[in-house]
Structure 1
C-alpha cells in the first residue's frame, strides 16, 4: 500500500490542511490540534466546538505560513484562518451571491505563554491545563460565529488517555531515533510507557483507507461521491490489495520512504561506444553499491504505528462544507447509511466505525519521523478480533 494523503488540523474543528509531507512525533503530525475553539458558556466554562454540534466550523479554512508546510517546520510561524460566508437564500429558494470575507486572522504557532491566561480544559473528561489566546483572536471568531468564542492553546498541557484499550503496549527500547531529535522546542514527545495527547480526541493519529471510502461512495447514487476530508484523517492509505474495512483488524503498520525512482544525473550510469567492458563493469558495480546504500538508508527511516482503537463516527459526516449546514440529499444521510452494517464495535454499539486510531511506536523524547505522499505502507500485524471501545463516557471519537 501507499500513502495517498496527509492532513493536519492546527486549530481543532476547522478545515484541514492537505500536505505533501509532514513530520510526526509522539503527539502526531507536527502542529496538529495545538489549538481549539470553544464556545464560552454563561457560567464562563468552555464547550468544545466540532462539526456535529457546530457545523458552521466547516466554513473556516486554515493554512500554514509563510509558505505552507514544505516539509520544513522551521519555515512555519503562523496559521492563517479565512472565513467563507455561506450562500444566502433568496425568497425563491435559490442562492444569492456571497461577498467574500477578506479579513484573515493570523495565529502564531508558538505564542508566548507568559502573556496568556491559564485555563482548564475538559475534553472528553480528560482535563488539561491550557492557555487562552484572548483578543484579537477571540473577537475575530466571535464576530463570525455570533456568540462568544475563545481560542485555546495547548502549550505545555498534557491530556491523559482514558481509554485503556487505546493505550499501546509498552516497549523496552525505541525503534527509531527519528528525524530532528533536537526539535524539543517545537514538539514535545513522551516515552511509550506514559503516552499523552494534546487536543486530538483520543489518540495522536487517525488513519483511513481509500478502499473503504469507495465502499461508502458505492452506497450513494451513481455520480455521488463521499469526500475523504469529511472523515478528518491524518494519514490516508490507498488500501491496495485489501478489502473494504479490512483496517478494522490492522494492528501495526510500518511506513517507509518511497524508493527513488529517478536518480540525479551524478548517479546515472552512462555508457558510450568507446567505453571498455571492464570500465562498464566498474561503473555498474559502483552504481549498484550506491543503490544498496540508498535502500539501506530508506529502510532505516522506516517507522511503525500501533493501531489500537476504532473511530466511531457522528453527524459531522453529513455536513456540507460550503453551507455550514447538513448537506442536502444523500450526502446528508451518510451516517445513517453506515449505521446499517458498520456498528461493529461492541464498546460503542450505536456508532458506525470508519478508520483506526494509532500511536507512533518508540520515539525518544523530542524524536520525529517523516511521512510523505507516496511512502510505502506495510501491514506487519493483523488482529484476530476487532478492538473494543472503552473510553469512559464517550461512545465514539468526534
Structure 2
C-alpha cells in the first residue's frame, strides 16, 4: 500500500475525569483551551498526619490503576477492581460523581491549596461521602477535590504569539528569533492586541492541555525493546489523543494492538516511528482545528504500572532509557509523546491557484472525533528542549 493510500488519523481519544484513575475512551470530544471537556477536573489527595495533603498521582500511588471510570449522562461512574477479590462473586460498588457540580454548593465543604507541577491553584472539596468511599479502598484517608472555576498557570512551553504580531519593543523583536522553547521567558504581553493570545491555563493536567501519542512509535517500542513480543498498553502513557496511519478510504480506527511489523516491505508509511518528535503544528478534522505541539513528554515510573495489580514492574521505562533520552533539557528521562495547545484564529488552506481559503475559525473550543484526519502543517528542524522552571 503506497503512502498516498494511507492517512494519519485519530484512532483513540481518552479523558481522565478524576486524575490518575483509569481513562475513559470516548468516540468524540470537545477541545477547550484548558484541555478536553471533563478531563482532569477532579483529583485525589492523601491527607497526611501533619495536616498537609499529597497529590495522588499514578507514579507515586500505582493503586490508582485499580479504579475504572465510565461516563453515564452527567456523571462519571467509578468502580474499584480489587485484584484480591473473587471476580465471579465480586459485587461492583459504584461511586457516581457529578461531572459538573455547582461550585456554590461545594464552597461550604472548604477549599484546599494545590501545587501541581510547580503551578498553584485552589480546589473545592467534593464531600465527605466521596472521601469515605475512596479512603475505604485505598487504605488511607483520601480527599476528592474539584477545580471548579479556578485554573493553574502554564509556566513554560505555551505557544508563542502569531508571527504576524508586530514587535512592541526591542526585547520582543529579539525574542521573535528565539527557538520556540524559549518563548516562555518573554515578558507577559498585555491582552487584547492584534495577534496576541490569551494567557494559557490548566486544570489538573500537568504541563499542557493535551498529550498526543503515536501508535507507530508504540509499535517500535514493542518491536525493538520487548524481547518476547510483549504488547504495551497505550494507556500506560496516559494520552488524550492517539494517532495512527489508516487507509484513506476508512474512517474506522486501526486495531488497538497491531502486529509490530505489519507493513509490506514496499510500503511507505504515512506515519513513521517518532516522527511526532518533530511536529510543530497539526490540523485536525474537516474543519482543520489547529494544535501547537510545543514540548516533549518525559516519562517516569508511571509507564511501568501494572493496571491489573496496581503495582509497578520494571520493564518499559528501563528499555526506553536505552535510546529515547533525546531531550537535552530533560536528559535523564526518556521521551514519548508531545504536549500541545489549541490555537485560536482562522486556519488557511491553499487552493490549486494559490488563493488562501479560510477553513475554520476556532474561538476557544473545537470538536474532534475518532477517524478525524490529522495533517502535519509545521515541522521542526530540531527537537524542542524542555525548559520548565525547577
**TM-score range for the pair, normalised by the shorter chain length:** 0.7 to 0.9
Aligned-partner Cα distance in 2 for 1:121–1:252: 31
2:9 corresponds to which residue?
2
Aligned-partner Cα distance in 1 for 2:87–2:36: 37
For residue 215 of structure 1, give the secondary structure of its aligned residue in structure 2. helix
1:113 corresponds to which residue?
103
Aligned-partner Cα distance in 2 for 1:377–1:35: 29
**What's the CA shift string for 1:126-176, capped at 9, x where partnerless?**
10121111211001000000001010101011100112xx11012499xxx
1:372 corresponds to which residue?
369
Alpha-carbon shift at residue 50 of structure 1 (Å): 1.6
- Decide whether the 8 Å contact of 1:85 with 1:101 is kept in 2: no
Alpha-carbon shift at residue 205 of structure 1 (Å): 0.3
1:233 maps to which of 229, 233, 239: 239
1:130 paired to 2:123 = yes
- Decide whether the 8 Å contact of 2:289 with 2:362 is kept in 1: no
1:377-396 to 2 correspondence within 5 Å?
A: 377-393=374-390
1:361 paired to 2:361 = no
2:221 corresponds to which residue?
216
**What's the CA shift string for 1:346-375, capped at 9, x where partnerless?**
111111000000000016997421111111
Structure 2 stretches lacking a partner, 5+ long: 1-7, 165-191, 246-268, 346-360
TM-score (norm 1): 0.74
- Decide whether the 8 Å contact of 2:222 with 2:229 is kept in 1: no
1:262 corresponds to which residue?
none
**What's the CA shift string for 1:293-346, capped at 9, x where partnerless?**
xxxxxxxx221000000000011111110100124xxxx311000001101111
1:334 paired to 2:327 = no
2:288 corresponds to which residue?
302
Larger radius of gyration: 1
Structure 1 stretches lacking a partner, 5+ long: 67-76, 89-95, 174-189, 258-300, 394-398
Aligned-partner Cα distance in 1 for 2:227–2:163: 51
Alpha-carbon shift at residue 97 of structure 1 (Å): 5.9
Aligned-partner Cα distance in 2 for 1:380–1:97: 48
1:245-260 to 2 correspondence within 5 Å?
A: 245-257=274-286
2:198 corresponds to which residue?
193
Aligned-partner Cα distance in 1 for 2:308–2:104: 38
For residue 122 of structure 2, give the secondary structure of its aligned residue in structure 1. strand
1:20 paired to 2:27 = yes
For residue 330 of structure 2, give the secondary structure of its aligned residue in structure 1. coil
1:168 corresponds to which residue?
159
Aligned-partner Cα distance in 1 for 2:243–2:231: 18
Aligned-partner Cα distance in 2 for 1:309–1:7: 20
Query: How many residue pairs align between the two structures?
Result: 311
Aligned-partner Cα distance in 2 for 1:18–1:48: 24
- Decide whether the 8 Å contact of 1:84 with 1:101 is kept in 2: no
- Relative to structure 1, is the Cα distance of residues 368 and 3 closer, same or farther in structure 2, using a 3 angstrom cutoff? same
For residue 375 of structure 1, give the secondary structure of its aligned residue in structure 2. coil
Alpha-carbon shift at residue 221 of structure 1 (Å): 2.6
- Decide whether the 8 Å contact of 1:158 with 1:198 is kept in 2: yes
For residue 282 of structure 2, give the secondary structure of its aligned residue in structure 1. strand
1:81 maps to which of 73, 78, 83: 78
TM-score (norm 2): 0.76
Which runs of 4 or more aligned residues in structure 1 lie more than 4 Å from their structure 2 counterparts after TM superposition? 96-99, 363-366
Aligned-partner Cα distance in 1 for 2:51–2:18: 21
Aligned-partner Cα distance in 2 for 1:366–1:377: 20
